[in-house]
Amino acid sequence: MISSIEINGYRGLERFEMTGLGRVNLLVGTNNSGKTSVLEALYLLNSRGNPMSLWQLLWRRGERLPGTPKPGGRPIQPELDVCHLFTGHEIHSTSSFKLSAKNQIPERSVTFTIVPWNAKDDAVVSTEEGGPITTRLAIQIRGTQRQELLTLPLTRSGGITTETLDAPPRRMRTRISEENPSQFITTESLDSDDLVSLWDKVALTSNEELVIQALKFLDPDLMRIAAQASPQNYYGMPFRGGFIIRRKGNDQPIPIGSMGDGMWRMLAMAISITQCRGGVLLVDEIDTGLHYTVMTDMWKLIYNAAKQFDVQVFATTHSYDCIYSLAQVCGSEEDKITVQRIEAGKSTSVPYSENEIRIAADRQIEVR
């Protein structure tokens, strides 16, 4: 497990360290304090700087550049602006950010650096708009676990495209890797294609019961769940489909999209944690769509599943109810659950141990 992480130069985190991490870690703090950026850093670190992960994070935030028209009427390819990954939202030939898990065995780090680029030294992409690329910059990815240095040339506008990554847009989703298992569940959760793909690895296994148990927190009458063929996403927009459920006393299958945001959220978390064995689960605003009355059960399931599958969990929240419910799960073992308070402009988080979380909840002490 990761016991500490150091972030240098990533987004608004010019220099930041988070220590004393446990099995389950809840990140709290005001808006724009950097909680989501920490989750993103952990995701990039665990993926060994996979450029597909980089694309996913940029796309999710809408950090895009106007596409360049292609000759012959070819469709304009998406172009994502990498400058926002660096503190100050600017890039030059020495811009860099580094992410490190200092106390993990083996230690892990990944560095993203903007460097001058010479087309003769890089065969990743050799043409742009039918001619030689003339951009003078590239993003270089180096990590302790990368077997070779990876250099991706930037466009003239300072962005990356699917052509640069040699992958069509429909394949830009980042699947869970067996070598570096991690999943990032954003505030929008996962879309149906991702979730059905994960469900295929859970259905008809012993893990299916854990997923059903999680959904029963929200609907005690739920009996079964199944995936079904679903149509293509319209206009490229994600939707909540691909699953039907069976409820007690009702023979008619019900689309899971009819059951509310909380059901989809719980489904995504329960399925994902079974597929992240030995890795990391990251959940932004974990309580989204969930009523406070089910949060204690949610934390019990996540904590027990995290131990069962050897998963380390990092989540964010703005909710006091979420913190109070986590306190109900804290046991006698120290350092298994932590709350990490992140403050804008501060170089370190403020960690709370299990005992401190319980005391704060009992005395209604504000830790957000």
Write out pLDDT tens, residues 171-228.
445 455 556 689 999 998 888 888 888 999 999 899 999 999 999 999 999 999 998 8
The per-residue pLDDT for 33 is 93
pTM (2 d.p.): 0.88
Q: How far apart are CA 155 and CA 123, in angstroms?
A: 15
pLDDT, average across residues 320-344: 87
Query: Which pLDDT does position 132 carry in this prediction?
Result: 45
β partners of residue 97 = 112
What's the mean per-residue pLDDT of the chain?
A: 84
How confident is the model over 130-156, as pLDDT tens digits?
Answer: 444 444 789 999 987 665 678 888 988
Determine the Cα–Cα distance for residues 277 and 48; give it in Å rounded to an integer: 17
CA distance linking residue 63 with residue 79, whole number of Å: 9
Q: For residue 101, what are the CA distances in angstroms to 37, 212, 261?
A: 15, 34, 34
Collect all residues with Cβ–Cβ distance below 8 Å to 158 and sequence separation of at least 6: 65, 81, 82, 83, 91, 137
Give the domains, in start order, of the chain with CATH numbers: 48-171 (no CATH), 182-362 (3.40.50.300)
